[in-house]
């Protein structure tokens, strides 16, 4: 794995100025251009707004400056991504939306200089889009990546890729795909999974039927994708042969967390809509904001937003200092934030009553956007399983290292107090 170039140091003042510029840009330029609820951002509007973002100095906050971004290290992303996420199209306009944002991060860390020039540079500039080919139809890879069925077989100096992917987010209109395929052991590598960079117009690549989902924010949808005797050269390998699962963790840890950041921004927007409604509407002779039931809903929204913000901040710091620990913590952040953000928007709909479930307000569409996050990037149940296993392992090791077994300690205390 290659080492990413060091990022330019950023002070709190620099980040706060960027946050303020982003906040102003989203509210003044992006929000007036939002499509109607349920509709997608068209390409011409996206291109125009991205150029405006570049002119405003807020484009690609996570991308190194050498590729036209703002060069922020991961521990500073949250404040900016939340401001971008205040509009459902904000992340696409700032070029920090999935799956491109996660692919940029991985390419920066793993790709060769030649691959960076061919794939990372146009992706970072907004001139190209990408997708990530991992999920497969049952019984293939989904929440369990070890079930990977797509194969890549070495044939002379080429790799022959065959497989069927689905929920390939962003694939419609994408320029290239990072494909995960199972490879057999060779003289130079062990058996495992390997990542390949494959142009979408390459022979043997076919975009299949779309999967119609309730979310609309990700450009390119979530279609099926087929690889049929797709022959690619050795230089298409991303990183090392057989190390695909390890690289996937490089991508997935930050990608889970940036989803949390973006959707938390949308939760803040939802609460602002609900607060404005509670401020102006009177029920039974009193402003709604003074009614205890409304105050309970508002307070619970505030609690969910602030706890989510705190866990995102902690996880981002860990990803910067200890990527392995940060990746594990990102599972906790993903579960908490995906459920908390959904609760916030759902409460805001309740506060807004009938208008909340109509297209007169965008809240119902916001709920559609965030609901899939409890499934995307690994179902929450899978993350909870892994979280519980890590907790049990951590405690078992502590006891083996000499810490007292608390079950015995509790029984002893109970016996002594009888």
Three-class secondary structure of residue 396 per DSSP:
helix
CATH number assigned to the domain comprising residue 226: 2.40.110.10
Q: Is residue 209 part of a domain?
A: yes
- Per-residue pLDDT, 7: 62
Q: Do 249 and 365 share a domain, yes or no?
A: yes
Q: Do 33 and 115 share a domain, yes or no?
A: yes
Q: Is residue 369 part of a domain?
A: yes
pLDDT, the chain, mean: 94
CATH number assigned to the domain comprising residue 26: 1.10.540.10
For the stretch 314-319, contacts whose Cβ atoms lie closer than 8 Å and that sit 24 or more positions apart, written own/partner, are 315/257, 316/74, 316/75, 316/76, 316/77, 316/78, 316/257, 317/75, 319/74, 319/75, 319/253, 319/254, 319/257
How would DSSP label each residue in 153-220? EEETTEEEEEEEE---TT-TT-SEEEEEEEE---SSS-SEEEEEEEETTSTTEEE------S---STT
The least confident of 17-21, 145-149, 198-202 is 145-149
Q: Which residue has the higher pLDDT, 188 or 132?
A: 132
Q: Which two tokens stand for residue 314?
A: 């902690």
Q: Do 171 and 116 share a domain, yes or no?
A: no
Q: Is residue 410 part of a domain?
A: no
- Per-residue pLDDT, 6: 55
Q: Is residue 238 part of a domain?
A: yes
Q: Do 161 and 181 share a domain, yes or no?
A: yes
CA distances 415 to 315, 403, 405, Å, are 42, 21, 16
Q: Is residue 381 part of a domain?
A: yes
- Per-residue pLDDT, 409: 66
pLDDT reading at 14 higher than 70:
yes
- Per-residue pLDDT, 1: 44
Report pLDDT digits (tens) over 284-309.
Answer: 888 999 999 999 999 999 999 999 99
Q: Which residues contact 170 (CB under 8 A, 6 or more apart)?
A: 98, 99, 100, 129, 130, 131, 132, 218, 219, 220, 221
On the question of a cis peptide bond just before residue 139, with omega within 30 degrees of 0, the verdict is yes
Q: Do 198 and 210 share a domain, yes or no?
A: yes
- Per-residue pLDDT, 411: 64
Q: What percent of the chain has pLDDT over 70?
A: 96
The residue segments making up the domain with residue 238 are 132-244
- Per-residue pLDDT, 418: 67
Q: Do 395 and 346 share a domain, yes or no?
A: yes
Q: Is residue 180 part of a domain?
A: yes
pLDDT reading at 4 higher than 60:
no
Q: How many domains does the chain have?
A: 3
pLDDT reading at 117 higher than 60:
yes
Q: Is residue 232 part of a domain?
A: yes
189, 210, 244: which is the final residue of a domain?
244
Q: Do 362 and 258 share a domain, yes or no?
A: yes
Report pLDDT digits (tens) over 264-282.
Answer: 999 999 999 999 999 999 8
Report pLDDT digits (tens) over 232-258.
Answer: 999 999 999 999 999 998 899 999 999
* pLDDT mean over 160-181: 97
Largest CA distance in the chain: 81
Angle at 122 between CA 55 and CA 243, to 5 degrees: 130
Q: Do 258 and 390 share a domain, yes or no?
A: yes
Claim: this prediction has a pTM higher than 0.75: yes
217, 244, 271: which is the final residue of a domain?
244
Q: Is residue 277 part of a domain?
A: yes
Q: Do 263 and 385 share a domain, yes or no?
A: yes
- Per-residue pLDDT, 23: 98
Q: Do 175 and 270 share a domain, yes or no?
A: no
127, 148, 173: which is the final residue of a domain?
127
Q: Do 50 and 183 share a domain, yes or no?
A: no
Q: Do 98 and 168 share a domain, yes or no?
A: no
Tell me the pLDDT band of 2, cut-offs 50, 70 and 90.
very low
Report pLDDT digits (tens) over 39-94.
Answer: 889 999 999 999 999 999 999 999 999 999 999 999 999 999 999 999 999 999 99
Q: Helix, strand, coil shares of the chain as percentages rounded to 5?
A: 55, 10, 30
Tell me the pLDDT band of 396, cut-offs 50, 70 and 90.
very high
């Amino acid at each position: 794995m290659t080492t990413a170039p060091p990022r330019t140091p950023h002070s709190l003042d620099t980040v706060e100025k960027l946050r303020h510029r982003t906040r102003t840009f989203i509210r003044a330029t992006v929000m007036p251009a939002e499509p109607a609820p349920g509709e997608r951002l068209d390409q011409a509007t996206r291109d125009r707004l991205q150029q405006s973002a570049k002119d405003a100095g807020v484009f690609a906050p996570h991308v190194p400056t050498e590729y036209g971004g703002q060069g922020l290290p991961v521990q500073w992303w949250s404040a900016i991504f939340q401001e971008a996420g205040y509009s459902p199209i904000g992340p696409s306009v700032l070029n920090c939306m999935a799956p491109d944002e996660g692919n940029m991060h991985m390419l920066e860390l793993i790709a060769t200089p030649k691959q960076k020039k061919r794939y990372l540079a146009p992706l970072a500039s907004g001139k190209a889009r990408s997708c990530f080919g991992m999920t497969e139809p049952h019984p293939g890879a989904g929440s369990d990546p070890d079930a990977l069925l797509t194969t890549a077989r070495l044939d002379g100096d080429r790799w022959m890729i065959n497989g069927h992917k689905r929920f390939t987010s962003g694939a419609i209109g994408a320029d290239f795909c990072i494909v995960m395929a199972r490879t057999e052991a060779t003289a130079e590598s062990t058996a495992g999974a390997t990542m390949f960079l494959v142009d979408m117009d390459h022979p043997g690549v076919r975009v299949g039927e779309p999967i119609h989902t309730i979310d609309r924010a990700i450009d390119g949808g979530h279609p099926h994708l087929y690889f049929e005797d797709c022959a690619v050269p050795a230089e298409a390998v991303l990183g090392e042969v057989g190390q695909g699962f390890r690289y996937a963790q490089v991508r997935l840890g930050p990608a889970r967390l940036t989803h949390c950041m973006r959707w938390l921004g949308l939760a803040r927007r939802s609460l602002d809509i609900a607060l404005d409604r509670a401020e102006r509407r009177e029920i039974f002779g009193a402003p709604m904001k003074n009614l205890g039931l409304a105050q309970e809903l508002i307070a619970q929204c505030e609690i969910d937003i602030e706890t989510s913000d705190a866990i995102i901040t902690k996880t981002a710091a860990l990803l910067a200092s200890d990527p392995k620990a940060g990746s594990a913590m990102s599972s906790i952040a993903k579960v908490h934030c995906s459920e908390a953000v959904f609760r916030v928007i759902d409460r805001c709909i309740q506060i807004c009553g009938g208008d909340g479930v109509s297209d007169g307000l965008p809240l119902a569409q916001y709920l559609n956007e965030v609901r899939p996050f409890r499934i995307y990037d690994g179902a929450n149940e899978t993350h909870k399983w892994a979280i519980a296993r890590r907790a049990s392992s951590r405690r078992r090791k502590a006891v083996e290292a000499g810490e007292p077994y608390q079950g015995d300690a509790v029984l002893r205390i109970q016996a002594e107090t009888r």
